[in-house]
A and B are shown apart, each in its own frame.
Chain A
Amino acid sequence: MAFIKTISVREADDELRAIYAMIHSDMFGSVPFPVEWTAWNVMQVFSLRPRFLWAFERGFRHFMWDGELSRLAKEAIGVSVAQTNACHY
């Protein structure tokens, strides 16, 4: 899944599990998927430092959900950067 160790929802302590739950709630609202399904690899890679994961989640909210720019424009910019950096994730 990644080059470094990661901590899954099942192995997480209370602090980390609460952050995974916050991400689940932000992304899926009331859709009843288990939290295990929604702890994406790109999030779990920060799990050794839960504060990084928290900051990543906050950053995602700031940049992708808040603001005046359209969702399409944000996705277009994001895909362009990912393509330029050859990031297939």
Chain B
Amino acid sequence: MSARHARIFESNPLAAPVAPDLQAFVALAVKITARPEEVTPEDVRAAFSAAQSPRQYFDAVGVMIAFNFITRAANALGVEPEIPGWMRRIEPLRRLGLRAMALFFRLFVNLDGKRVHGPTPAEHLTALRTLFIDLELGDLPAWVERLSFAPPLLAALREFLEALVRRDAATGSIGLDLNQFMAIGRTVLQPIPNAKTLNILAYNWQPAKRAEADEKRTALITRFANDVALRSYTLTRDRIDELRAASFDDAEVLDIVVTTALWGAAARLEVLTGCLSIQESEARSQGSEVRRQESVVQ
């Protein structure tokens, strides 16, 4: 992306002069990030129809979800750009440093497309079903099953959930506090009621009986998770210190942030894909294939 385009997107993404399909994706990206509860099936179908193929739509959704995840985690954990502290304190120098960083990326980072090899969608689905059983969450939601149309989304969902839940890669055992995991889930999902199946799943889950001390820790976690989910840019080092004072170590703080960001990403994924039926995806796939063949003949 050129520096001029980047500046426009950084100031007002909705004003960027881009092709209609990209405009539709950007509008949806802004809405799903800021006001996911207002995203309607009509918004989703409009962006899906604007895409040149279903795969393009699902690719766009993947980027929306990935950046929703990473920007919340980076804000909550105070990740600083790779420019010296003295430059960060003076706005023009900070901008200069960020521009130099972007130039470095453009010059040296290999942007060639890379195929990601790994398990098939069917294998990812099997692994996710097993995870749901091990977490006592019941059946996999139907919209997750339908993600076999979007292998990168399915793969990323499975890989991050497994990384979070199965701490010991060798044994695959569940190493996560399930009460904490689900308490964070309920907190994150509450303002996103249109992620219907995840809300049902979280509210039907029965927490185990806990001691009073655990209740206090859970209350602290959910308050922090709520801020990560809704206003991650306001979080400061003091909030991490508050968790440390309640005996959380830094790895556990990371767990809380990743769990929160992952629930938020999964909820947005349901909103952006849950209303699309298999038939719609298949019909659009066939349509875009016919158009591709026609353009080859011409």
Q: Tell me whether A89 and B74 are in contact (CB under 8 A).
A: yes
What's the Cα separation between A33 and B74 when bound, in Å? Answer: 25
**A20-52 Cβ-contact flags toward B at 8 Å (1 or 0):** 000000111101010000001110011011011
Main secondary structure of the interface of B (DSSP, over half): helix
Q: Tell me whether A85 and B56 are in contact (CB under 8 A).
A: no
Q: How many residues of A contact B (CB 8 A)?
A: 54
Nearest opposing residue in chain B for A84, CB measure = B33
What's the Cα separation between A82 and B1 when bound, in Å? Answer: 15
Nearest opposing residue in chain A for B150, CB measure = A67
Given contacts A55-B163, A62-B116, A80-B30, 6 further A-B contacts (CB under 8 A): A46-B258, A54-B163, A68-B56, A69-B59, A73-B22, A76-B9
What's the Cα separation between A81 and B258 when bound, in Å? Answer: 18
Q: Tell me whether A86 and B233 are in contact (CB under 8 A).
A: yes
Q: Tell me whether B81 and A4 are in contact (CB under 8 A).
A: no
Q: Tell me whether A58 and B26 are in contact (CB under 8 A).
A: no
Q: Tell me whether A63 and B63 are in contact (CB under 8 A).
A: yes
Q: Determine the chain A residues whose CB is within 8 A of the CB of B65 once the complex forms.
A: 63
Interface residues of A (CB under 8 A from B): 1-5, 26-29, 31, 33, 40-42, 45-46, 48-49, 51-52, 54-56, 58-69, 71-89
Contact of B67 among A51, A68, A72, A77 (CB under 8 A): A77
Q: Determine the chain B residues whose CB is within 8 A of the CB of A67 once the complex forms.
A: 55-56, 58-59, 62, 152
On whether A3 and B116 interact (CB within 8 A), knowing A59-B156, A82-B67, the answer reads no
Q: List 11 A-B contacts (CB under 8 A).
A: A28-B108, A41-B80, A55-B156, A56-B70, A60-B66, A63-B62, A67-B56, A68-B59, A72-B22, A76-B5, A77-B60
Q: Which of A28, A56, A67 has the most CB of B within 10 A?
A: A67
Min CB distance, A21 to chain B, in Å? 15
Nearest opposing residue in chain A for B237, CB measure = A3
Q: Tell me whether A58 and B9 are in contact (CB under 8 A).
A: no
Q: Tell me whether B254 and A85 are in contact (CB under 8 A).
A: no
Contact of B34 among A45, A48, A68, A84 (CB under 8 A): A84
What's the Cα separation between A49 and B160 when bound, in Å? Answer: 12
Min CB distance, B268 to chain A, in Å? 10
Min CB distance, B116 to chain A, in Å? 5
What's the Cα separation between A85 and B64 when bound, in Å? Answer: 12
Segment of B10-18, B131-139, B185-193, B206-214 in the binding face: B10-18
- Tell me, yes or no, whether B279 is within 8 Å of chain A by CB: no
What's the Cα separation between A60 and B113 when bound, in Å? Answer: 12
